[in-house]
Amino acid sequence: MSCVHKGFFRYWTPAIKKFLGELSQAESEKESLLKSTLQRLIGRFGENHTKWRQLVSTTAELDVLISLAIAHDYYEGPTCRPSFLSMLSTKDSPYLSAKSLGHPVLRSDSLGKGAFVPNDISIGGQHDANFILLTGPNMGGKSTLLHQVCLAVVLTQIISWLARYIFN
């Protein structure tokens, strides 16, 4: 018995042909068993879908809390919790005010002791502009200030959510 494969002939003995048939049948059975096993697994997973969702949700919450704890230990310098004022009246403009704003990623071991200068920022409200036009020379700290303010807002939103979540 011979077989043609891309320009060459392969000779198969009757025993090899028999083994190839058995191999093909075994692979077909394997695929069938894997398919039925996967269907049973998906069915069992679906039966416990609510428990899996709770597990994933709890794991995600723990991940956030652990990450914030690690970030707090990593951060150098003084830290504080944001202050949230009561609801503004319709006449008031929202504002952001931060004193001695640091950067949660930049550390003295990468910059050198005392190389980072904290920034004060006030945006909005009755006495400050609603936006800042930030100009200056290259390497003047524009991006650092922008990152500081954006990270402060994002972290404040996270803290706000956590405070509502934990204390309610």
Show me where the domains of the chain are located: 2-47, 80-167
Distance CA 115, CA 77 (A): 13
Within a 13 Å sphere around the CA of 23, how many CA atoms are in the beta-carbon half? Answer: 6
> Residue-wise over 56-77: b if at least 16 C-beta within 10 A, else e?
eeeeeeeeeeeeeeeeeeeeee
**101: its two tokens:** 């704003």
Vertex 119: Cα angle to 118 and 122 (nearest 5):
155
Per-residue pLDDT 10s for the chain (168 aa) are: 555 566 777 788 899 999 999 999 999 999 999 999 999 999 988 898 899 999 999 999 899 888 878 877 776 666 777 776 665 566 667 788 888 887 767 666 566 666 777 888 888 877 778 888 888 888 877 888 888 888 888 888 877 777 676 666
The residues with which 95 forms a beta bridge, in sequence order, are 124
Distance CA 94, CA 124 (A): 6
DSSP for 82-113, written as a single string: PP-PPPPPTTSPPEEEEEEE--SS--HHHH-T
